[in-house]
Amino acid sequence: MLQTLLLSASLLAPPAELDGHWIGALVRDDGVVPIEVTIDGVGPTAGRFSLPEWAVFDVPVPIDVADDGVTIGLFVTRGRFERAGGDELTGVAPLGRGRTAPVHLKRVGFAPVRGFVDEEVRFASGDVELAGTVRRPPGPGPHPGVVLLSGRSYGARWSMTPFASLLARAGVAAILFDGRGRGDSTGDPLTTTAADRVADARAAFACLAAREDVDASRIGYLGESTGGWIAPLAADGRDVRFLVHVVGPAEDVPSQQGHTVQGMMRRSGEEFSDEELTAAFAYQSDLCRHLAAGGTFDAFADRIAAARATRWGRYADTPDDFDVAGLQFLKHQSYDPTDALRRLRAPLLAIFGGDDFVVPPEINVPKLEALLAEAGVGFEVIVVDGANHDVYRAEPDSPWPFPRPPPSYHAKLVEWVRTHAGLDPE
């Protein structure tokens, strides 16, 4: 979601005069989203962007200067701004589908109070060096901790900043890190395996546990989406205080991918028969198994050609070869959390989006509950009504076009983690 906001060059002062803290909002009808930008020079990480409503704080963003303007990275959209005065910027941001939103920024003479401290860290995972950030509460500690495990893209650490911010402000130190070959980490993102990701999670845990300001006996994992597959595998046979799954699948990759294809078909507006839904599931799950087993394209080419000839083929993967980037995850990262969940020794909080077709709760909740019952551990499952795979939802009567995380979701997550990390509820 990292996009750009363009400032009009004709009315802007030199870049140095933009340095400082800016607070404002995007506005549409009665919908308002507060934003904050801190500028400190020019460069790929010279800015810091915050979207408090989403618990996004201090994400490094680019500040670029050219003859035709100054660009500032943002999460939401981009707009053209004019100088409304020495300490004000106004403009219009496009929202897509012909919609626009006024945006207004004012410079303030103070740094926003965050309630946490960031520290850059580096740690080894095999022959790879991973770069990350420990976002911790102020004070000496020792604090409980949490390792944040991101989703399928395994990209830059900042995708997990909402969890880090929420938990650090609630007294829990969080480590978030760049995936292999992303950000400042070494390695090859296209050949990263499931075993690599489990090893990376354990290395991040060890990095956090070695700190004097962290209590090594009170560290857990929080995994989002694919990170929910990784968390129980990383915890398997280890002393872990707690686990949190945010839209983490309880089924294996082939089944999850097959159900995703079915979900897209059901939401397409087309009418599909039960036979077509079953055939699409079988095709996509078989393709995943074939890729994970190292199968060749030629050996699956007839299945691909047959799928392309169907009405549902457009919703499944029907590649021209197996070298396309989008298939590398399926080739190298095949997860099945079943046995690890059966052996789990730590309590688990699972959060699902009620309107999530990627990890549908109607399929994953019963399976997860059955496995955790076998494990004999305490657990809690929450399904956020109307929420998508990001656990965001659009308010039915709101004019604002962007979904947002329901406040009750964040509050419950923080309360549960504090309790299971040995902190008093807030």
DSSP category for residue 12? P
The DSSP 8-state label assigned to residue 111 in this structure reads P
Cα(113)–Cα(116) distance, integer angstroms: 9
**Structural contact between residues 7 and 65, judged by C-beta atoms closer than 8 angstroms:** no
For residue 375, give both structure tokens. Answer: 């494990």
Q: Where are the domains of the chain?
A: 3-108, 117-252+335-420, 253-332
Where is 338: in which H helix or E strand? helix 338-342
Tens of pLDDT, residue by residue, the chain (426 residues): 344 444 433 334 445 678 889 999 878 666 788 889 898 888 888 888 888 888 889 888 877 776 655 676 765 444 444 444 568 877 777 666 677 778 788 999 988 888 999 999 999 999 999 999 999 999 998 999 999 999 998 988 988 999 999 999 999 999 999 999 999 999 999 899 999 999 999 999 999 999 999 999 999 999 999 999 999 999 999 999 999 999 999 999 999 999 999 999 999 999 999 999 999 999 999 999 999 999 999 999 999 999 999 999 999 999 999 999 889 999 999 999 999 999 999 999 999 999 999 999 999 999 999 999 999 999 999 999 999 999 988 765 555 556 778 888 999 999 999 999 999 876
- Tell me the C-alpha distance between 386 and 262, whole Å: 19
Partners of 60 in beta bridges: 48
Question: Pairing mode, if any, of strands 348-353 and 214-224?
Answer: unpaired
Which CATH superfamily, name and number, covers 117-252+335-420? Answer: Alpha/Beta hydrolase fold, catalytic domain (3.40.50.1820)
- Which candidate, 176, 177, 175, 171, places its Cα nearest to that of 142? 171
The b/e string for 45-76 (b: 16+ C-beta within 10 A; e otherwise) is ebbbbbbeebbbbbbbbbbbbeeeebbbbbbb
> Does CATH place domain 3-108 in 2.40.128?
yes
Report CA-CA distances (Å) from 121 to 132, 207, 261: 5, 8, 39
